[in-house]
Amino acid sequence: MNSKHDELSRAQVERAALPGPGEEPHFLPHPVMDRLLEAVIVLGGELWIERDRRRALESLLQSKGVVTPEEIETHSESDAQGRQEELTALITRLLDPLRTMRADG
Amino acid sequence: MEQRNPGKHPHPPRREDASHMEYMTEVRNFAIRSWFPEIAGEVGGIAAQAGMPAVIDADQYAELAPEIDRSPAVAGWKRVMRSQQQLAWQKLQDSYAADREFWEGRLTEAEERNPGRLHYDPDFHVPESACEDIHLQPGGYCGDNLAGFVFYHGTRVFYQGDNDKDEIHEACVEDMRLPADGQVRRILDLGCSIGQCTTVLKERHPQAEVWGLDVALPMLRYAHMRATDMGVDVHFQQALAENMQHDDDSFDAVLAYILFHEVPEHTFEPIVREMLRVLRPGGTLTVIDTPNSTVFPSPNWMWKTFDARYNCEPYSQAFGAFDFAALLEEVGFEDIRKETTNTFLLNTLATKPG
Ligand SMILES: C[S@@+](CC[C@H](N)C(=O)[O-])C[C@H]1O[C@@H](n2cnc3c(N)ncnc32)[C@H](O)[C@@H]1O
C-alpha cells in the first residue's frame, strides 16, 4: 500500500534522531558561541521585562503621582504602538549582527 | 483576581510572564518574518551552486545539508529558533510551578463543578510515542499536570500572536467539510489538546454533541476547565486515536487539526481506519496538517529537518513524505480533496461512502 511511501528516501525515518536527554546541540562552530547567543536572548528578555515594568511605572507616576504594586501589576499602557515599536527596535538591535552575518563571517 | 480565572483568554500568572511572552513572540517574528527570507536566499544559493533544481527531494537535500550547516547564518538562525522556544517554555513552566497547588486546585475544582464531561480511566496506558517533549515543551503533553496551562501560553508565542483570539481554530472549524444532508448531531475533535477547536465547534453547532479526544490527560483537564469556565457544554475523553471507544457510525463529522504529523507512521493507517469506522455513512472528515510531498524547496527542507530534530517533532518527516490522500482512498473514504489554505497547512477533506 501507499506506493509513494514505499519509495521513501533514506532520509525519512520513522523517528528523527533527537538530542539525548540533557544533551544540548551546538549549531555554531564552537559551543561557547551557542551559549553566548542564548545569553543574549536571555538578556534581551530580562531587559524587556524591566523596561516594560518601568514604562508602566512611569506612566502611572505621571498620571497619579502615587504608585502601588497592584496598580503596576494590572496597568495597561495607552501608548501600545510606541511600546511595540520599542520592543521591535530592541530585538532588531540585538539580532541584526546575526541577520547580516554571511558565510565569509 | 481576574487573571487567576483562566477562562477563554487567560493572562499568564504575572505581568513579567506576559512581558516575556511578548518579547519571545517578537524574537520569533523577527527570526521568521525578517530573518528567514535572508536565510532562504543563502540556502537557495548553496543549492543553486551545487546545480540543484528549485525543488528537491530528501536525498538531494541530504547531499546539500553538510554545506548548509556550515553556513554561520543558518547556524545562528537555528540557535535563535531553538533557544527562543526553550526559554519561552521554561519561564512559563517555572511560573506555574511556583504556585502549583493553586493551579492544580483550579483543575480539580472544575471537575467537581462540572462532572460527567471529562472521561478518563486512571489506569489508561499512554504509549511512549505520546511522551515526547513535542516542540521542546518540557515533559511534553503528558508529563506535568500543568502542561495545559503552559501549552496555552507557549502556543500563543508559537502562533506569533496570530491566534490570541483563537482565530486559527475558528478558521479550522470554518474550513471543515460537513455532511451533504446537513445532519450534524455528533462531532469529534481528534487530538484536541486544550479543546480550542472543540469549543468553537460547539459554538458553531450548538445542537450537536461535541467530543474532544486526546491521549494527554493534562491537556484534557485544562480543556475541561477552560470549557467549564466558558460555559460551553462539551465532552473531553482520554483515548487513543487508533482506539477511540466510540460506536460504529456514531459521528457526523470528524476534525483532526495538526494531529497526524505528531504521531508515528505505523499509526496512520489504524487511525484512518478508526475514523472511517466511527463516521456514519455520508459523514465527513477534515484533516488539517503539514503538506504531504516528497519534494520541497531547499530552504523548506532546512527548516523541516531542523524542526524534526531540534524542535522535537520526531515523527513529522515521515508524515511530510507520506501520501495521506492515497491512504484515505485505500481505506475506503471517497470524494477526497486537498485544499491549500492561506496558512502553511494543507486541508484534506473526505467523505465516508453513503
Ligand atoms: C499539535 S496537538 C493538536 C492541536 C489541537 N488539535 C488544537 O486544536 O490546537 C497534537 C495532540 O495530539 C495528541 N496525540 C498524540 N498522539 C495521539 C494519539 N495516538 N491519540 C490521540 N491523541 C494523540 C497530543 O496529546 C496532542 O495534544
Domain segments of chain B: what residues? Answer: 1-354
Half-sphere exposure of B113 (CA within 13 A, CB side): 16
Which H or E run contains A89?
helix A80-99
Ligand 1 centroid to Cα of residue B192, in Å, is 6
For residue A5, which of B307, B348, B330 has the smallest C-alpha distance? B330
Query: B63 C-alpha vs ligand 1 centroid, how far in Å?
Result: 33
Report the alpha-carbon angle B124-B126-B130, nearest 5: 155
| Confidence band, pLDDT 50/70/90 cuts, at residue B2 | very low
Which pLDDT belongs to residue B3? 47
Write the pLDDT tens digit of every residue in B108-161: 999 999 999 999 999 999 999 999 999 999 999 999 999 999 999 999 999 988
pLDDT digits (tens, 9 = 90+) for A49-90: 999 998 888 888 878 877 776 776 787 888 889 988 888 877
Give the separation between CA B206 and CA B185, rounded to whole angstroms: 10
Instruction: Read off φ and ψ for residue B31, nearest 5 degrees.
Output: -65, -35
CB contact under 8 A, B23 and A49: yes
User: Which tens digit of pLDDT belongs to each residue from A10-42?
Assistant: 445 688 989 988 788 899 998 878 888 988 898
Within 10 Å of residue B243's Cβ, how many Cβ atoms?
10
Question: In Å, how far is B129's CA from the nearest CA of chain A?
Answer: 9
E strand segments, chain B: 55-57, 118-119, 186-190, 209-214, 235-238, 251-257, 279-289, 295-297, 334-340, 346-351
pLDDT the model gives residue B4: 52
Q: How far away is chain A from the Cα of B235, in angstroms, using its nearest Cα? A: 32
* Partners of residue B240 on adjacent β-strands: B243
Class of domain B1-354: alpha beta
Residue in chain B closest to A39 (alpha carbons) equals B83
Give the CA distances from residue B250 to residues A42, B35, B186, B192, B278, in Å, rounded to whole numbers and listed in that order: 50, 48, 7, 18, 5
So what's the pLDDT on residue B290?
96
Identify the burial level of B178 via C-beta atoms within 10 angstroms of its C-beta, where 0-12 means exposed, 13-18 middle and 19 or more buried.
middle
- Tell me the C-alpha distance between A95 and B336, whole Å: 45
Report residue B243 CA to chain centroid gap.
19
The pLDDT tens digits for A44-57 are 998 999 999 988 88
Q: What is the pTM of this model?
A: 0.90
pLDDT of A104 above 50: no
Q: What is the dihedral of CA A53, A55, A56, A62, to 10 degrees?
A: 140
Specify the pLDDT at position A67.
72
Category of B245 on φ-ψ map: left (φ > 0), alpha (ψ -120 to 50) or beta? left
Q: Would an 8 Å CB–CB cutoff place A20 in contact with chain B?
A: no
- The average pLDDT across B244-255 equals 98
What is the mean predicted confidence (pLDDT) over B6-21?
89
A76 touches chain B (CB under 8 A): no
Whether residue B299 is predicted with pLDDT greater than 90 in this model: the reply is yes
Q: Quick one: pLDDT at residue A102?
A: 55
Q: State what percent of residues in chain B have pLDDT above 90.
A: 94
Nearest to B164 by CA among B1, B4, B289, B25: B25
Q: Does A60 touch chain B (CB under 8 A)?
A: no
User: A45 CA distance to ligand 1 centroid (A)?
Assistant: 30
Q: Rounded to the nearest whole angstrom, what is the distance from the C-alpha of residue B312 to the centroid of ligand 1?
A: 14
**Is A44 strand, coil or helix?**
helix
Q: DSSP labels for B236-265?
A: EEE-BTTB----TT-EEEEEEES-GGGS-G
- Is there a contact between B314 and B281 (Cβ–Cβ < 8 Å)? no
- pLDDT at residue A4 in the model: 41
Percentage of chain B modeled with pLDDT above 70: 98
Residue A47 distance to chain B (closest CA, Å): 10
In terms of CA atoms, which chain B residue is nearest residue A74?
Answer: B15
Residue A105 pLDDT class (50, 70, 90 cuts): very low
Pocket residue to mutate for ligand 1, from B174, B245, B262, B289, most atoms within 8 A of Cβ = B262
